[in-house]
Amino acid sequence: MNRRLFLTAMLGTPALAALVAACGDNSVGSPGDTTNGSTPLTFAPGNSAPGTSDGTTSGAMKYPTGADDVVVRIAYEGGFVAPATLFSRLPTLLISGDGRAFTPGVQTEQFPGPLVAPVEQRSIDPLGMQRVLMAAVDAGLLAPPPDYSLPGGVNIADAADTVVVIAANGGTFTHRAYALDITDVGTTPARTALATFVAQMSDLATAAGAGNIGAEGPYVPSAYRVQATATDPSQVTDPSPTVVDWPAGTGVALATATVCASVPATAVGSLFAAANQRTFFRDAGVAYALAVTPVLPGDTSC
């Protein structure tokens, strides 16, 4: 794992406590199989299957091709972390149907960090997409999820779920495993297969083929999702916050954004770029701390 991914994984790993029961979730979207119509998928993993821009060439796996469609999504959900962290947590990998791959950008441990965590974007071509999907086939992920429970009745408190979503061949398959990133609690074949796929995708250049992906660049979102918490700035120190006025032209009153609100980037992009985790926003005489995340393909609207 390279240093960027290592730092990202460390920042996304939730704190652990002791001893409560936990188990995997066996939810699934639409059923599907590992064939393309009546054509068996017989080409070997790592080989370049013939492909086109829509992923529908004979012998290749079909996948949704819209800009807002999610083909692969790997993320941590839950865990013993602050609500604002849960709200703003980014997927470790997201691949959209139109051939874009999104990963968290580099962040240091300096506090306060940027208000909005950076996201990197790169292209992935149809051959790269086929290689990624073949890795999912090898891991058994284009099928209803097996039992991902921790082995032997092991109990861990407050860990996160690793959630892997794959959309291909007419199905959407959701695999959820509790505490998958904790390696010293034992494993099962299903958990090992899922963890192996997650590890493979942490190095997309190898998984997709270096010639099948483009260079990384910053993702510039068209909108942000925000969650506002009323805060007394005088009670916050080390360091003391900066309070700025919330723009009047956003169309969103922060008093109504305590759960979630969508804000166009044209109204707040520059403001958020200049803000950090100790920047508060004053709206109608009340100061708010914001959790902010860029809108990515597949994100539900607030």
Residue 18 has pLDDT above 90, yes or no: no
Residue 40 has pLDDT above 80, yes or no: no
Structure tokens at 3: 């240093």
Look at residue 29 in the predicted model and tell me its pLDDT: 33
Q: Is residue 188 domain-shared with residue 227, that is, in the same domain?
A: no
Q: Is residue 57 domain-shared with residue 184, that is, in the same domain?
A: yes
Q: Is residue 12 domain-shared with residue 101, that is, in the same domain?
A: yes
Look at residue 59 in the predicted model and tell me its pLDDT: 64
Q: Is residue 106 domain-shared with residue 137, that is, in the same domain?
A: yes
Q: What is the pLDDT of residues 45-58, one digit of tens each?
A: 333 333 343 444 44
3-state helix vs strand vs coil in the chain, percent to 5: 25, 25, 50
Residue 22 lies in a domain: yes
Look at residue 6 in the predicted model and tell me its pLDDT: 34
**Domain tally for the chain?**
2
Look at residue 155 in the predicted model and tell me its pLDDT: 77
* Band of pLDDT at residue 300, cut at 50, 70 and 90: confident
Q: Is residue 144 domain-shared with residue 15, that is, in the same domain?
A: yes
Residue 34 has pLDDT above 60, yes or no: no
Q: Is residue 63 domain-shared with residue 194, that is, in the same domain?
A: yes
Residue 85 has pLDDT above 90, yes or no: no
Residue 78 has pLDDT above 80, yes or no: yes
Residue 42 has pLDDT above 80, yes or no: no
pTM (2 d.p.) = 0.79
Q: Is residue 190 domain-shared with residue 289, that is, in the same domain?
A: no
Q: What is the pLDDT of residues 256-270, one digit of tens each?
A: 999 999 999 999 999
Q: What is the pLDDT of residues 104-133, one digit of tens each?
A: 998 888 889 999 999 999 999 999 999 999
Cis peptide before 112 (omega within 30 of 0): yes
- End residue of a domain, out of 217, 238, 273: 217
Buried b (16+ CB within 10 A) or exposed e, 95-111: bbbbbbbbbbbeeeeee
Of residues 71 and 109, which shows the higher confidence score?
71
Residue 302 lies in a domain: no
Task: Look at strands 93-96 and 100-104 and give their pairing.
Answer: antiparallel
The residue length of the chain stands at 302
Structural domain boundaries, residue 23: 3-217
Rounded to 5 degrees, φ, ψ at 290 are: -115, 135
What mean pLDDT is reported for the chain? 83
Residue 282 lies in a domain: yes
Of 116, 167, 67, the residue nearest 276 (C-alpha): 116
* Band of pLDDT at residue 154, cut at 50, 70 and 90: confident
Look at residue 36 in the predicted model and tell me its pLDDT: 30
Of 74-88, 216-230, 280-294, give the lowest mean pLDDT range: 74-88
Identify each DSSP E strand in the chain by its residue range: 35-36, 39-40, 70-77, 93-96, 100-104, 119-123, 161-168, 171-178, 217-218, 223-230, 242-245, 261-264, 279-283, 286-294
Of 30-34, 143-147, 202-206, 260-264, give the lowest mean pLDDT range: 30-34
Q: What is the pLDDT of residues 270-283, one digit of tens each?
A: 999 999 999 999 99
Report the alpha-carbon distance of residue 171 to residue 155 in Å, rounded: 32
- End residue of a domain, out of 195, 217, 239: 217
Residue 36 lies in a domain: yes
Q: Is residue 240 domain-shared with residue 169, that is, in the same domain?
A: no
Q: Is residue 178 domain-shared with residue 48, that is, in the same domain?
A: yes
Report the alpha-carbon distance of residue 267 to residue 274 in Å, rounded: 13
Structure tokens at 231: 């805060």
Q: Is residue 233 domain-shared with residue 122, that is, in the same domain?
A: no
Buried b (16+ CB within 10 A) or exposed e, 157-173: ebbbbbbbbbbbbebbb
Q: Is residue 72 domain-shared with residue 143, that is, in the same domain?
A: yes
* Band of pLDDT at residue 153, cut at 50, 70 and 90: confident
Q: What is the pLDDT of residues 218-247, one digit of tens each?
A: 999 999 999 999 999 999 988 999 999 999
Residue 97 lies in a domain: yes
Q: Is residue 86 domain-shared with residue 158, that is, in the same domain?
A: yes
Structure tokens at 131: 């290689």
- End residue of a domain, out of 184, 217, 250: 217
